[in-house]
Structure 1
Amino acid sequence: MPDAPSGQPQPFLLGVISDTHGLLRPEALVALAPAQHILHAGDVGNIEILEALSAIAPVTAIRGNVDLYGPCAELPETELVEVAGKLFYLVHSIHDLDISPSAAGVAAVISGHSHSPSIETRNNILYLNPGSAGPRRFQLPVTVALVAITPTTLDAKILPII
């Protein structure tokens, strides 16, 4: 993330992770260490992952399609959370988006499920999939994301972790 110009406040750093599938890599913890809040976009796989992430920063998490049993099954299916004055909507699969982000005043939609990292802006709304931080699938990279939040911008970056 770029440094703030001299005299400007530092951006708020939001960590974004998804599809851990029960595996929290040490590299993910290192990459997310600067985060001041962490969003987990589902397919947690083991509630201990959220406990480990919460040692870094507060965590907001949703369940994914593999979170069918135990404590992870009790996570909400979607979540609307305010972070640093911006609204973030979490949904595991973007295909299950059940709101109008612009009508809801959402600054960003966070999803996972596909294991394919992506950053896109549509109608001034950030659509971010941090990719998968868990077991490698196919030839897809293992990634997390950081979002630098300022009063006027969201600057998302995908970070390969292995």
Structure 2
Amino acid sequence: MRVLVLSDTHGLLRPEVLALVREADAVLHAGDVGKVEVLETLRGASAGPVHAIRGNVDRSPPLSGLPETLLLELEGVWIYLLHDLKALDLSPEVAGIRVVISGHTHVPRLEERGGVTSLNPGSVGPRRFRLPVACAWLHVAEAQVRVEPVTLLE
């Protein structure tokens, strides 16, 4: 299963991202969607499910109605989404979570510790400072995961 992991669109959905969405079996958005049209377009372009959580800029309805966190199982792998990793209030190892996905910082980050993959795909929204415009593929098969970072703009 190929899962496209996005974060921090801040209301901007780039054509390069839409092309990736069309290749995905599922899409996970780690918050700061920015505009409901972003989710509508993602859902219209994706052949699979689109899961999104609320970020700190998603303050107005209907985005304010998105869940703050999301726990889901894909292909036997438990995945936990939250916007700001600093707000993590559980032990992924103890909870049986294999992947923790966050956003907020706009800085792509991948770390493996204690059998848990921690992924911040970066931001695919408006460019900030000199940070790359980035997202990631999460490949899930037979209860195993592999992350493939994707840089759209250096």
Q: Does 2:43 align with 1:46?
A: no
Which letter maps to 2:58?
D
Which letter maps to 2:132?
P
Which letter maps to 2:34?
G
Q: Report the Cα distance in structure 2 between the residues aligned to 1:20 and 1:144, rounded to whole angstroms.
A: 10
Which letter maps to 1:41?
A
- Name the structure 1 match of 2:117: 126
1:31/1:159 contact within 8 Å kept: no
Q: Report the Cα distance in structure 2 between the residues aligned to 1:32 and 1:157, rounded to whole angstroms.
A: 15
Q: Does 2:34 align with 1:23?
A: no
**Residue 154 of structure 1 aligns to a residue in which SS?**
strand
Q: Does 2:103 align with 1:112?
A: yes
Q: Report the Cα distance in structure 2 between the residues aligned to 1:53 and 1:143, rounded to whole angstroms.
A: 17
- Name the structure 2 match of 1:77: 68
- Greater Rg over alpha carbons, structure: 1
Q: Report the Cα distance in structure 1 between the residues aligned to 2:82 and 2:109, rounded to whole angstroms.
A: 15
1:31/1:161 contact within 8 Å kept: no
Q: Report the Cα distance in structure 2 between the residues aligned to 1:53 and 1:104, rounded to whole angstroms.
A: 30
**Shift of residue 91, structure 1, vs aligned partner:** 0.7
Number of equivalent positions: 151
TM-score of the superposed pair, with normalisation by structure 1: 0.90
Runs of 4+ in 1 over 4 A off after TM superposition: none
Superposed CA deviations along residues 35-88 of structure 1, whole A, max 9, x for unmatched, are: 101110000001111111112121111000000112110001111011122111
- Name the structure 2 match of 1:33: 22
**Shift of residue 152, structure 1, vs aligned partner:** 4.2
**Residue 37 of structure 2 aligns to a residue in which SS?**
helix
Gaps of 5+ in 1: 1-11
**Residue 161 of structure 1 aligns to a residue in which SS?**
strand
TM-score of the superposed pair, with normalisation by structure 2: 0.94
1:32/1:146 contact within 8 Å kept: no
In percent, how many aligned pairs have the same letter? 48
